[in-house]
Structure 1
Amino acid sequence: MFGTLKSHTDLKAKLDALSRSLATIEFAPDGTILDANENFLAAMGYARAEVIGQHHRLFMEPAEAASPAYAAFWEALRAGRFQAAEYRRLARGGREVWIQATYNPVLNGSGTVAKVVKFATDVTAQKQRNAEFEGQIAAINKAQAVIHFALDGTILDANENFLAAVGYPIEAVRGQHHRMFVDSAYAASWDYADFWQRLGRGELQAGEYRRLAQGGREIWLQASYNPVFDAAGRPVKVIKYATDVTAQKLHAADVNGQIQAIGRSQAVIAFAVDGTILDANENFLETVGYSLAEIQGQHHRMFVDPEDAAGREYQGFWADLRRGEYRTGVYRRRGRQGREIWLQATYNPIFDMNGKPFKVVKYASDITLSVQARLEATEATRQTLDNVQAVASAAEEMSASVTEISGNMAQSKAAVDDIHHRTLAADRATTQLQDAAQAMDGVVQTISKVAEQINLLALNATIESARAGEAGKGFAVVASEVKALANQTTAATARISDQIVEMQRVSGDVVGLLAAIGGIVATVQSYVTGVASAIEEQSAVTREISSNMQTAAGGVASISRSLDRVALAAG
């Protein structure tokens, strides 16, 4: 009797202990609620009076409570079959609750089910955590390549992303060793053996790995090998999460190659966004004449004239770069000991993952010799412009002088032409005078002959008057007078004849002189005509030269302005 009492006492103590730690509820075989402890009521948010006499379906979705599965659940309990699982239930207000529970049929003395006792643990928080973990794992499986290994590297499973990356079906990889994805030399190396030994000790391995896909195709994976531990903290397997970064790796290699190529050919320097020098390559150091130790940590203004560094433009320059604005141009800088340097440069803001500038990289080419030559060319062009303008002015003056000479020669030609015409007219008049003198000579000769006849007649008259005596004295006087007149006529005629001869001689001389003058005038006229024509041609050439020099002056001025703009841009 005492043994039975002790047994009942022990059983009650155990039930009390379970009731203190577990949510407990009792049901009639049809599911009607008979009792519930505080743990259960707290978990479901009800008072005891609100649940006693209600059916278990109070905690179910209506659709689920009306389902054949739910009816079968209670049918099994009424048949005395134990039920245990993780169940989704509804608390007050429809709040979702997850419980890890056992439904335990309690038999009476006849072996039939008298009631059902449910012991439950609220696992809602754990379920939510698990759901979150499962969601994360599902998301990882969707986004990443995942493969499972035993601790020795044997492949257990792999998702579609991993299989797509390596180009194998699951049948071709399951049961194989991880070394199928690495080259034979690495697979046989100490590093590879150490890699798996570390994983076997539970050490995570992460990095960027070169692997071989089907057909020996090279791929790059950004991956982590994660040991999975059992409840005792012992590694039991390895899960690898990976992202195929082959394209990014190739792109990075291409970009890195381009950057290295730029670094070999250009002067490169890196700054913090405040202008502090972070690094510089050998080309830049050689250009400015400093060592890296001399400039690292210094400000960019060490390469700038102090008055420029203190100006607003320089402050704005760095403010623009801090805002991420790209800058390019020709810049005048100072090397060691103030040596002037000209750089064709770009200042390139570099952005972080949030799109915020965190440094500035400058790529530059030393164009000092080119700029100096350009400045010398500008000065030479200015001098050339001055010379061309002077020549243009002289050509303009010469053109004016030639034009004036041309006008004078035209007037000279007109005067010579007039002299020539007048000489010809005088020559013709002199010829006519000579002809008239010759005609007068004939008249004089005729008069002379008449005078001779008269003189002869007078002589005869004198003779006859002498014969006549006194009777012929009067006639003799007349004859004597006639003879005297005849002698005077003869003398006058002789003088006229001499004058005509002299006039003929002079006329002949005049004709000869006029002929000579006419020849000379004709020659002069020819010369003047030739000179006038030549001067006209020279005037045209001079005008063309003047025009060309003006055009040249304009061209040189344009070149000078262009060089000035280049020099201004360079400054």
Structure 2
Amino acid sequence: MFGFSKNNDAINRQISALSALRAKVMVADVDLNIVYVNPSVVALLRDVEQDLRKELPRLNVDRLVGSNIDIFHKNPAHQRGMLAKLAKPHAATIKVASHQFDLLVTPLNDGGRRIGFVVEWADAKERLENLDYAGQIAAIRRSQAVIEFTTDGIITKANDNFLTVMGYRLDEVVGKHHQMFVDRDYGATAEYRQFWEALKRGEFKAAQFKRVSKSGKAVWIEGAYNPIFDEKGQVTKVVKFAVDVTAQVNLLNNLKVLIDQNFGEIERALEKSTHETSSAGAAAGTTANSVQMVAASAEELAASIAEISQSMSRARTATDSAFDRTIQVGESTDRLAAAAQAMNGIVGLINNIAGQINLLALNATIEAARAGEAGKGFAVVASEVKNLANQSAKATEQISGEIEGIQSTSAEVAGALNAIRDAVSIVREHVSGTAAAVEEQSAVTRSMSTNMHSASSAVSTVTTNVTAISAAISQVAAAVDKTKEAAQVLVR
């Protein structure tokens, strides 16, 4: 390998040493053909082989020796150009699929001649995670007060945030016991000793803690005492991360004072509100019942008026029909009167004819008398004609009398019909007006019924809202109680 005999004992010893290393080592010749991989490299790549082959399809862990390092690159020409110019170790981090690796490539030379390369592999995950953790710790130290102790409570480190809060310099606290930050009486208690004994056992403590600054003022911190373990699970130190909450605690103290001062007044106001809402709820319930009853009555009234409206409509129709019939009868009576009047002319004509017949009969009688015996038969006929003329005259007088009676009756009927027509017209106008008024009243009543239903719904809504207000007042009272309790707890 690399121009040396395979039987060279020194080379064999070197290869044995490389195989025993936990470091992950790969060796390639000057042509970048892999000539050696130690078991650590094989184990590393075998664990992730399936994922790597998604992007490096030529990779085969079992056949690494004899392969070219081109199998690890998507762009082998770029890598070859870089390695050809490599004069000193070169470190890089590569990402393949979802994995990242740290690589250190060192050129191998023999007598000034390039004979190959050594590639050291490392999984970059742990290094990157440590970088992330270190960044997080740095961020915490920038934003919070941090102090470190031995397991016995002796101060070893403190950052500027902590020193600023407590008013000390670093040289004033390093080597001192944590007891310098607590009340003297509390530092002498069994509770304080048990606090540190629990931390020494590995139990962390997180809460609000009251501490004393260099000036003697109370300082409240919100934080946690965190035991730190070594690889054997033993507690090696205690680190506290904290923030200054003195201002918040003072605000809570002021809040408790305000609540204590005003709680009685709030309770009285809530009791009064509860009583008033109860009364309002009862009144709203009663109003709802009354409105519902009125709405039901309005519905019945609307139904009754609707029936009256229908009856009035029928009466108006009947009146209109009677009015029309009265007009028709009046017209018939007028025609009857006209016919009777025409009969007067006929009667007059008959009377004239009867008079002429009488005159003719008289002349015939005279002529018959002149004729003597020869005119007797003619005289008889003339006498009968005269009799008929007299009968016609009597009948005509009777007919004339009857016609006068008919005319008189027709006149009376016509007068009565005119009066009836006038009365029916008046009734018709009243019925029309009443029907219109009833229809309008029906519409108003229906609107009233609808409005009463709406009012009923509105009152129901008011009742519901009053109930909700009452419940809300109860919740407010409970919240005030809880606030008072919380304030008492927070200021302890």
TM-score of Structure 1 vs Structure 2, range by shorter chain: 0.3 to 0.5
TM-score with structure 1 setting the length: 0.42
Q: Which structure carries more strand by proportion?
A: 1
Which entry has the higher C-alpha Rg, 1 or 2?
1
TM-score with structure 2 setting the length: 0.48
Q: Which structure carries more helix by proportion?
A: 2
Higher relative contact order (CA 8 A, sep 6+): 2
